[in-house]
Amino acid sequence: MRRLNVPAIVLGLLLLGAWELAARAGQNSFFPPFSTVLAALWANGGVIAAQIVDTLRRAAIGLAIAVAVMVPFGALIGRVRFLGDIFEPLVNMLRPIPPPAVAPIALLFAGTGDAGKIAMIVYTCAFPILIGAIDGVRANHPMLTNVGRSLRLSRLEIMAFIDLPAAMPIIMTGIRLAVAAALLVSVIAEMLLTTNGIGVYLLRSQENFRIADGLAGVVAIAVVGFLVNDLFLRLDRRLLAWHYATTGGAEGQG
């Protein structure tokens, strides 16, 4: 287990304390104190948890699809010259389009159900992962390919057993960016294509001026986001122990 990060915890408590005091002093119903939000979280815990499960489920499915498609696709674009020539301009053109802008298209083709929201998540996650994979395989030392070739491996074997694992540190950076984006877009997609999920919960709370309930949802998302990020950070340290050990960064053996 890692040590507790005491300064960060102290900072968090101070900020919450400041919130509490400021809200109590202000007496504005749009700015309830933290204790009220905590009470709302307690009261709505079941609803919020159920909604977050939906949100997380879609984020996870979208992320998984993006990883499964974009990692091999990026490796191909990075390694095969003519595929790079064809697809890189397209990737660079699509990349700056914000996910909400594709909502109408997702809605049109995939509907307002799970499919439409997952499509938006896949779209968002695709780019950091794709770019990580392209850059990752290109950063590999050419010597690694020679090792595979001298062992008489096929191009596909070299890609699967040498290129991709060697590129994992950079690909993982892309995946971790995608994880954060997946959660964010999962919530945004719910707010745009309303059916269920924590995004809809937030929207309904706002519409009905249930400010404390809404903030309780926000706090819940923040906590879940933190935990998910932490999970992937641990996964990264574990899978890439070899990388951190050979580059002298972070912890040694995972």
Residues that bind another protein (CB under 8 A): 141, 143-144, 146-147, 149-153, 157, 161-162, 165-166, 168, 242-243, 245-246, 253
Burial class for 232, CB neighbours closer than 10 Å (0-12, 13-18, 19+): middle
Distance in angstroms (rounded) separating the CA atoms of residues 189 and 196: 10
140: left (phi over 0), alpha (psi -120 to 50) or beta: beta
Cβ 245 to another protein, closest distance in Å? 5
Cβ 101 to another protein, closest distance in Å? 39
Cβ 22 to another protein, closest distance in Å? 50
Tokens representing 7 are 């300064």
12 versus 249: smaller Cβ distance to another protein: 249
Amino acid at 177: L
- For residues 62 and 114, the answer to whether their CB atoms sit within 8 Å is no
Distance in angstroms (rounded) separating the CA atoms of residues 100 and 170: 27
Distance in angstroms (rounded) separating the CA atoms of residues 61 and 211: 31
In the chain, which ranges are E strands? none
90 versus 156: smaller Cβ distance to another protein: 156
What is the end-to-end Cα distance of the chain in Å, rounded?
Answer: 11
Amino acid at 149: R
Amino acid at 198: I
Cβ 134 to another protein, closest distance in Å? 20
Cβ atoms within 10 A of the Cβ of 251, count? 11
130 versus 166: smaller Cβ distance to another protein: 166
Cβ 164 to another protein, closest distance in Å? 10
161 versus 226: smaller Cβ distance to another protein: 161
122 versus 133: smaller Cβ distance to another protein: 133
163 versus 190: smaller Cβ distance to another protein: 163
Cβ 75 to another protein, closest distance in Å? 16
